[in-house]
Structure 1
Amino acid sequence: MIPSQMPRFADLFRKYRLKSELATLSDFGSALAEEGKVYEDSIFSHWQKGKRIPHNRDVLFAILKVFVQKSGVTTLLEANQFLAAASQRDLSEDESLQLSPKLLSSVPFTVPQEPAHFVGREKSLKDAVWAIFKKTPVVIHGMAGVGKTTLAIRIGHILRNRFKDGILWYRFDILKIDDILTHIAQTYGEDVSSIRDTAVKAKTVRSILDQRDTLLILDSVDNFDSLRFLLPAKDPKYSLLITSKSLPSEIRQFQKLELTSFTQPEALQLAYQLLGKPYVLSNKMQIQIICKQLYYSPLALTIFFGRIALHPQKLYEFLERIRKQKVSLKEFQYDNKNLELSLDLAFNSSDTRLKQVFISLGAFGGVDFSSEAVAFINKLSLEETNQTLQVLHKMSLVERSVNKRYRLHSLVKIFVQKKLNTSTYHLLALYYHKFLADGGRANRHFYPKVEEELKNITGIVKICFELKLWQQMINIWEYLGVFLWDTGRWSAVERYSRLVVRASQKVNNASAEATCLLRELCWLHYWQGDINKAQKYAQVGLELAKGLKDAYLIALAWIRLGKIYQSQRHSKKALRFFQQALTYFTKQGNQEKQGDIFTYIGETYWMLGKRKLAKSYLRRALRIVNTIDDLPQKETILSRIGCIFLHERQFSRAINYLNKSLLLRKHLGYRIGDMFWNYLALGLIYYLQGDSRLAQENFRLARKGMAVGGYTIHTLNIDVFPFLFQKKLRNSGFYPKFSISN
């Protein structure tokens, strides 16, 4: 069913043997013998000439083992193509792990778990796969509940090993286009989180996708204006599949596949799978009545049959409930009324715990959720929760997602959200506060887990604001704000910071207000080059801190004001504030802040022309951050020392420090845009050395980094490095080519 131009076994055997650096067939024979398979070289010659093909799976597995060990075969796709050329099935997960765990982990695959029950749709499946292989965008459309998502998941799993750069899945009705673009870029090693202009971000992401053999699946597309940011070019390398209830004119170039309700045979096939063939045949007339009453809706029937499967003796009772509602059903024309009937039946016939857990799932604002979170908000043990979720899954009320997580169909979510009460949101806020607190503030090793829960966390923050759960929102922000800053989500920092300030004012929490003003809003506007706003927030934060007599916040305000005065070239004021803050944090033993302050003092002395003293303070800062493993600050310090060597025209030493800084930032894996300082300095070095090509390449990377990092042209006016090299930067051609959205 899957179209492809299958490579010959002989061609692949020769290709992977040579990639494995096995120059002769004898060399290959020796390597294969180590795997316990001994043959005459003449056999290998027959394989390579296409005269014979080995069909024994053990032999083929041994050959693959040789190729994988010697890096001739490096991806799951290559391994499966090799097997397919010998008329063998794809590797199982266990076989892949035996060969090399890297074969499984190297390719991203974010499609939800394959549905347990899939029937019919053969023609749609075949047409979709053909179109995808031809790089034609595909839209699966139809009314709610007809199985669009299920078909898309099935397609994703069928094609799992056919895209060497992976398959990415996104819920378009839940995730914002900016979040989708950011995640795609992160998947392939780029950071675009701080680019404010969606069009600029989309252009960057499309350029990434244009270099990838990827299938992009967008589920539940309802905003076709946003979809344009991900539409492939005329000759795309990546493939696109979307699901949608509507079919607007904007997608004329798509292959259109309409799904409708099941046919009667398909509905009976589903019943066989869920209820067992003997039971269906014994109650065929009643089953057919149910199918007709529910208009053969796939989702409604799946939920209804799932309910019957748990209580098969109640078939006639369930049928009677449908009959009583038949008249009222006819009065409704919208497409999900039959689903609502199935959900009502499943809900009303469930026990108390099942109802409680089912309703609570509507509180999650993200794509999926963990059983740990569900356990907490329902005050159940993890074992009890998993048992309940498994029952709900059997009833088709919840679906399995990735990484042992669960998710709700969008229509099911609407149903349960109507029954939610405020107490569930309150418990969810408590859970995510505990989740973040247990992970620790600024713990980069915990950040992947926060990423997984991010939409749920930001969702509950917004709900807390709407429900006036001010303090719960503030508690979460204590950790979330640092995460968003560290990962470069500046627009989110600004948006939520303003809400947190308002929440703090509502509960008269001056400490939380001052913290948000100083830690987030002041610093954000400083690095965006808006010094007036930054100074305003710093002054307000300082006054609040003084009113509270909070020495920590006062010292933090001194640091912020010191940086502001440094950018305004008021060096003496800046040094005075830095020294005051240093005295406090030294007494407190806060090495992180000491490292920051020594760095800022070093910068200030550099600006004053005291480069020897500047390097002395920067090296003191470096010793401290090495002690506490503060890698982000270490990256900054190395960059600053490199820039001072550039100032002294010690170009080799400057390049050495700047490259170390770049490697460290790449190792960190977030805030990649911050590398623009290093690229800017390297570009200037190569310009001064007369290497125009390398200079312009690094300037290009610097401009890209500024866009990615969320920096503006005004940022260059506040920092000591561009200030000291203004004339040279202008002469170098960096500024005239500079174009960035503010």
Structure 2
Amino acid sequence: NFHVVNSLFLVRCRGVNENRTRIIVKNPFQLADLLTQFIKRSGYTSGQLAKLSGVPKPTIVNWMEGRVRRPRTLNDLVRLTAVLHLSEAEASQLLQSAGHPTIAELRLDLQQMPDETLAKLINHWETKPSTTANKPAPFQAMAHLPYFVGRWELLEKLRTMLLAGDHATIYSIQGMGGVGKTALAAHLAYQLRSHFPDGVLWARVDTSDTMSILSTFASAYGLDVRQYGDLGSRSRIVRELLANKRALIVLDNAQSSEQVKPLLPPTGACAVLVTTRRQDLAVMRGASRFMLGPFDPKGKESLLLFGQVLGDDRVAEERPLFVELANLLGHLPLAVDIAAGRLAYEPGWTTTDFLQRVRQEQRRLVELESEDQSVRLSFNTSFQHLTEDQQQFFAALAVFAGDDFSSEAAAAVADMSHELGQDYLRKLYALSLLQAGRETAVDQPNRYRLHLLLRDYAGEQLGDETAVQQRLIYYFAAFVPAHSHDFATLDLEQKNVLTALQLARALGQTSDFVTGVLAIYLFWEAKGLYGLAADYLRKMETACPLEGAGAVSPQTDPMIRLKFHHYRGRLAQRLGEYIEAEARYETALALARTLQTEAHLSHLLRALGVLAARRGDYVLADSYYKEGLALAKALGHGGIVSNFLRGLGVQAYMRGDFAQAEAFYEEGLALIGMLDEKAPDAKGEGGMLWGLGVLAQEQGNLTQAQQYFEQSLALARQVGQQKRVILLLRMLAEIAVVQNLPKLAEDYWQEALLLAQDIGHRWQEARVLSEWGEYQIEVGQTAVAHETFQQLFRLARILQSRELVATALFGLARETAVRGDLELAKERGWESLDVFTAMGHIKMQEVKDWLVAVDG
């Protein structure tokens, strides 16, 4: 009984049956070549095969590399053939290449010498030739992961579409490397297996040749297509085979349309699911596309995955550490899985130790490798599709530390034209090396986002880091001054601007650092980022010219010094540090007078007037306001004139001169829209709406005032004007009280108070406390009123505001009287009256009337 197989020769040898003829391999690499071909087709790694078959990984590697020509353990080889989903003919071919009997011969041997283990293994193949009718439906999906978390919404959408009766399009799961596309497809295959009577076909199209895949698909239904030697013919036969079947076909990790097209069935009952990193495959035009990103940072998927591997108890106990770890991994599923596996199965790790490694950018990708899993290798697959110029462009993007960046900025740091930069960005996006960033206006450059780990990877490819960093500094040194009043644009670029400022300071580019800080200060102030502004102003104050005699710094350039002291004063004022604010303003005012800069003089005089008014020195405040008003009128600055007039109106109101107050106020409101202002943007429009609301409120039209305030509030939130948000919330609370909507009023005041405390604006915090306390007295909530006015009193002392001190004392006097302690109430009332009288404040008459009523 001789068998001829290729270059094999036959000899008699001992074995299961002494009279059996055994095949000996003449070519020692026959097994290695054949096994490698089958493994490549399957898409499995040696590590995955080891887990699925129970055969040690080193053993499989030895077989693949030809170090072992005839495996001693027949059972291990049979186990491997089953895991590879080989047909009986293919399994027999592989066994013969290793010098073992075919499957049919093994069945005969087992009849003479029973072996229960071997019998169970070869039962994988039917003992008789089967027809398509009685052959079980194929299921070629990769092994199901032992754990799968999240993706619930996307799973439901895909399930609904894949279970449709007919499929007019193919379906694709697209996303960056390591995001879990294959795992999601496998999970779906196992979930939907019972819904596809003709089975699930699976192919790893980037590592298997198309002809072999077509053969595997055909043989799954008992059809041998090996006689069709050209791709077109074999593809046509398989299409005919699939035309009347209802199967799920998964084409994994497609990198080109050519890998997909020959494998597509006719449109109909078969559902085709393609996973790919590519966004630009022609075959996907018209497909139902599903973008798969990293786990949601606000969700729990990353922690759930950690819990699946490490145990929920450990993750719950060390939750803050795992939250930080997930954030540092960018919530990329592959990275989370590798980290969890290393913590679980490598000895000596603590979560803190591993986290300390991952915090180091230069070590992060090094730690994300485990056996055949590697985040870096996953990224390599896409990176290798770039030209050398495109690779250098991608590497330059590592300098952006913000949430995203514009195409214009990307081209600038890469030192190329905007047009070429846009082309390269589209290429990177097509390979899922970039994702779409935040949406912008139609006339603004597109924005792109680089995943945190891809940024680390790009940084590894970056050669001349300093040159790229300097280009980032130069770009934003010009960008920020040009957009200093465009808060919406600065909001998009804030983190990138901070990166540029940090680099400028580190590289000794003091001029760019100082220019950038002064240009972005007003944005920080409007956003309520007082701590950040204070930090950078301190750094600026200590900056020294390191670039030569022409460098600018607070110490060398009078205009820089003027702006610095002006902004430092504004910041101190908002933090309630009025002595510091006044000193800074006076220094800036002296410089402005020396430099004869009327615009700065006007601003500084108004600022000093506000401070004087808050101290209760109305005479000095009037003096500042009137000098500044004359300057503003001479300059034709309508908005500034309006501010001065409204300030004078408040002064007159506090003195009880209502006619003069109304005249100032209405004149100020009328000037809000003077022609010197730019075309209203969100900020300017919001200011006009606010002014119109104030006027409507003064005229008693609360409904109209409410509408104006709500519109202004929406715009203030849009551009991040936190101070104006607080003011408008206070005004809306006041209207809600008049409208008998106490819950709404409380919500407005509480939001305003929390925001004022959050940004550290003490004056606005005090104003909210004052209004909230007054309301609590009106509704009889004396306990709340007591606590509120106590808070106000402590804050007023810090602010050194006589008006607020007197207001707090009067509030405490009234709530104390309600509690029955009239002596203490009158004592506080008299203290309040003394302060209001010294100021000439309008409230002194109200306090007098209250004291008379208490005595009566």
Q: String of CA shifts for 1:258-279, please: whole Å, max 9, x gaps.
A: 8999xxxxxxxxxxxxxxxxxx
Name the counterpart of 1:491.
Answer: 531
In the alignment, which of 415, 420, 423 is matched to residue 379 of structure 1? 415
Instruction: Measure, in 2, the Cα distance between the counterparts of 1:384 and 1:625.
Output: 44
Q: 2:468 matched to 1:424?
A: yes
CA contact (8 A) 1:500 1:513 kept: no
Letter in 2 for 1:424: V
Q: Identity, % of aligned pairs?
A: 14
Structure 1 residue 578: Cα displacement: 1.4
Structure-1 separation of matches of 2:570 and 2:594: 21
Q: Are the counterparts in 2 of residues 679 and 699 from structure 1 also a CA contact under 8 Å? A: no
User: Which of 569, 572, 590 lines up with 1:543 in the alignment?
Assistant: 590
What letter corresponds to residue 122 of structure 1 in structure 2? A
For residue 564 of structure 1, report the CA deviation from its aligned partner.
Answer: 0.4
The question of 1:698 aligning with 2:698 is answered no
Name the CA shift for 1:516/1:696 in 2 (closer, same or farther; >3 Å).
Answer: farther
What residue number does 2:176 align with?
115
Map of 1:584 onto structure 2: 631
Task: Work out the CA distance in 1 between the residues paired with 2:407 and 2:305.
Answer: 24
Which one of 666, 679, 688 corresponds to residue 634 of structure 1? 688
Letter paired with 2:713: R
Q: Alignment partner of 2:576: what SS?
A: coil
Alignment partners' CA distance in 2, 1:433 and 1:654: 46
Deviation at 1:581, TM superposition (A): 1.4
Q: CA deviation at 1:388?
A: 4.5
Q: Give the partner amino acid of 2:499.
A: G
Q: Select which of 515, 522, 528 maps to 2:563.
A: 515
Q: CA deviation at 1:562?
A: 0.6
Give the Cα separation in 1 of the matches to 2:500 and 2:645.
Answer: 38
Q: Specify the code of the residue in structure 1 equivalent to 2:470.
A: H
Matches within 5 A, 1:519-538: 519=567, 521-538=568-585
Aligned position for 1:460: 500
1:296 pairs with 348, 357, 372, which one? 372
Distance 1:303 1:725, change over 3 A: closer
Quote the residue 2:235 is aligned against: none
Residue 571 of structure 1 pairs with residue 618 of structure 2: yes
Residue 628 of structure 2 aligns with an amino acid whose one-letter code is A
1:441 and 1:482 in contact (8 A); partners too: yes
Measured after TM superposition, the shift of residue 686 of structure 1 is: 6.0
DSSP-derived class of the 2:711 partner:
helix
- In the alignment, the residues of structure 2 paired with residue 428 and residue 522 of structure 1 have an alpha-carbon distance, to the nearest angstrom, of 30
Distance 1:686 1:573 in 2: 36
Q: Deviations over 1:403-430 (max 9, x none)?
A: 552526143144246x444343232122
1:411 is aligned, of 415, 438, 456, to: 456
Shift of 1:558: 1.0
Indicate conservation of the 8 Å contact 1:373/1:431, yes or no: yes
1:611 aligns with 2:658: yes
Contact 1:683/1:696, CA 8 A, preserved across alignment: no
Q: Does the 8 Å contact 1:490/1:524 carry over to 2? A: yes
Q: Distance in 2 between matches of 1:637 and 1:220?
A: 53
In the TM superposition, 1:51-62 aligns within 5 A as: none
Rate the CA distance shift 1:89–1:623 in 2: closer, same or farther, 3 A: farther
Q: Is contact 1:429-1:472 (8 Å) kept?
A: yes
Q: Could you tell me which amino acid in structure 2 is paired with residue 115 of structure 1?
A: M
1:16 aligned partner: none
- The answer for the alignment partner of 1:443 in structure 2 is 486
Distance in 1 between the 2:422 and 2:535 partners?
Answer: 36
Q: Distance in 1 between matches of 2:513 and 2:416?
A: 24
Give the corresponding residue for 2:671: 624
1:466 counterpart letter in structure 2: A
Query: Which of 434, 444, 466 is 1:399 aligned to?
Result: 434
Q: Which amino acid aligns with 1:379?
A: D
User: Is the partner of 2:671 in helix, strand or coil?
Assistant: helix
Q: TM-score, normalised by structure 1?
A: 0.52
Amino acid paired to 1:550: T
Change (3 A) 1:541 1:485: same
Give CA deviations for 1:602-661 in whole Å, capped at 9, x if unaligned: 222222222332232222222222344433433553465567x4xxxx8x4356435522
Whether the 8 Å CA contact 1:706–1:712 is kept in 2: the answer is: no
Judging changes above 3 Å, is the alpha-carbon distance between structure 1 residues 79 and 407 closer, same or farther for their aligned structure 2 residues? closer
SS of corresponding position for 2:701: helix
CA, structure 1 residues 588+530, in 2 after alignment: closer, same or farther (shift >3 Å)?
Answer: same
- Residue type of the partner of 2:377? L
SS at match of 1:582: helix
2:400–2:499 CA contact under 8 A, matched in 1: yes
Q: Deviations over 1:536-555 (max 9, x none)?
A: 33223223434544333232
Residue 126 of structure 2 is matched in structure 1 by none
Distance 1:574 1:169 in 2: 57
For residues 454 and 424 of structure 1, do their structure 2 counterparts lie closer, same or farther at Cα, with a shift above 3 Å needed?
same
Q: How many Å apart are 1:442 and its aligned residue?
A: 2.1
Once residues 507 and 596 of structure 2 are traced to their aligned partners in structure 1, the CA distance between those partners, rounded to angstroms, is 31
2:421 and 2:372 map into 1 onto residues whose CA distance is 32
How much does 1:246 deviate? 7.3
Equivalent of residue 662 in structure 1, options 710, 714, 723: 710
**Cα–Cα, structure 1 residues 81 and 523, in superposed 2: closer, same or farther, change >3 Å?**
farther
In the TM superposition, residue 589 of structure 1 has moved relative to its aligned partner by: 1.9
Structure 1 residue 475 displacement after superposition: 2.7
Contact (CA 8 Å) 1:369, 1:453: kept in 2 or not?
yes
Aligned partner of 2:406: which letter? Answer: S
The residue type paired with residue 595 of structure 1 is S
Q: 1:571, 1:536 → 2: CA distance? A: 19
Which position in structure 2 is the counterpart of 1:191?
Answer: none
3-state SS, counterpart of residue 405 of structure 1: strand
Q: Which of 412, 433, 436 is the equivalent residue of 2:477?
A: 433
Q: Deviations over 1:115-139 (max 9, x none)?
A: 3897875279749x99xxxxxxxxx
Contact 1:716 1:723 in 2 (8 A): no
Deviation at 1:567, TM superposition (A): 0.8
Partner of 1:366: 402
Task: Tell me which of 653, 669, 681 is aligned to 2:701.
Answer: 653
Amino acid at match of 2:671: I
Contact 1:169 1:217 in 2 (8 A): no
2:511 alignment counterpart: 471
Q: Tell me the CA shift for residue 469 of structure 1.
A: 1.5
Q: Structure 1 pair 687/509, CA: closer, same or farther in 2 (3 Å)?
A: same
Residues 588/456 of structure 1: CA separation in 2 closer, same or farther (3 Å cut):
same
State the 1:731 CA deviation.
4.9
**CA RMSD after TM alignment:** 5.5
Q: How many positions carry a matched residue from both structures?
A: 480
The question of whether the paired residues in 1 share the 8 Å contact of 2:477 and 2:516 is answered with: yes
Q: Give yes or no for contact 2:401–2:496 (8 Å, CA) kept in 1.
A: yes
**Residues 424 and 674 of structure 1: is their aligned pair in 2 closer, same or farther, counting only changes over 3 Å?**
same
Q: Equivalent residue of 1:626, what SS?
A: coil
Judged with a 3 Å threshold, the aligned counterparts in structure 2 of structure 1 residues 722 and 653 are, in CA distance, closer, same or farther, namely farther
Residue pairs, 1:226-375, within 5 angstroms: 296-302=372-378, 304-305=380-381, 351=388, 353-354=389-390, 356-375=392-411
Q: Kindly name which structure, 1 or 2, has the bigger radius of gyration based on alpha carbons.
A: 2
Superposition TM-score, scaled by structure 2 size:
0.46
The answer as to whether partners of 1:680 and 1:699 remain within 8 angstroms in 2 is no
Matched to 1:633, the amino acid is G
C-alpha distance 622-79 of structure 1, shift in aligned 2 (>3 A): farther
